[in-house]
Amino acid sequence: MPGPGSTSVTRSTLRQQIADALRDEVLAGRLQPGQEFTVKQIAEQYGVSATPVREALVDLSAQGLLDSDQHRGFRVHQFSVDDYREMAETRSLVIDGIIQHAERQGRTRVNAKAAVPVRRRAEEAARAARCGDLDILIGYDLRFWRELGAIVANRYISEFLHQLRVQSWVFAVPHLRADPQARDWLFTGYEVLIDAVVLGDMSEARGVIFAYYEQSLAWADRLER
């Protein structure tokens, strides 16, 4: 017989599943920036009650992916080009800070065994980027950066960078899908970066991150033009 806490556990799990599903819808571009919807619409779409849906939408709002309106429901947040520039700058500064901290602590190498699965993510992400396959790339990209963060930084920094990464993709996806030259602007340096980290070559790692930052800014400038 289920215990007294089983109902709350089930609801919590459903809440997370709905939040994950909606985030994937946004990342895939099926929910467009500015698109509005209500708790009732989402509940009917997934065939669930309103409570876990409302909780999931509040979670996504806290992550900066949705905007809530007391009278109209929710809408997908619309990030600007300037927002994207600031995301890229923040990501670059935080990662550079991680590298500097590792250098000061004399911990510039990571466990090679722990890096093996991250290397696999790097290979898949790089392959998808070279092919211009956004649907595959986004999943591997998010896993790569999250797992890399887990072995080189503390979990709070890793989670912060993950949320920033998701927000960057939410902005980028609609633009990339509409750009026939999108493949030219996708980051492909995953393998070089993880190899540099494993070898403890922080100069190389810093160079990859800086080049990625410059590429992101160049793409943002192109969008404005």
What is the model's pTM?
Answer: 0.88
On the question of pLDDT at 9 being above 60, the answer is: no
Task: Give the mean pLDDT of the chain.
Answer: 91
Domains of the chain: 6-76 (1.10.10.10), 81-224 (1.20.120)
Distance CA 200, CA 203 (A): 9
For 166-180, write each residue's pLDDT tens digit. Answer: 999 999 999 999 988
On the question of pLDDT at 5 being above 60, the answer is: no
- List the one residue out of 213, 188, 198 whose CA is nearest residue 102: 198
pLDDT band at residue 3 under the 50/70/90 scheme: very low
For residue 147, how far is the Cα from the chain centroid? Answer: 12
Among the residues of the chain, which ranges form H helices?
6-27, 39-46, 50-62, 81-105, 112-131, 134-152, 155-177, 190-199, 202-224
For 76-106, write each residue's pLDDT tens digit. Answer: 999 999 999 999 999 999 999 999 988 888 8
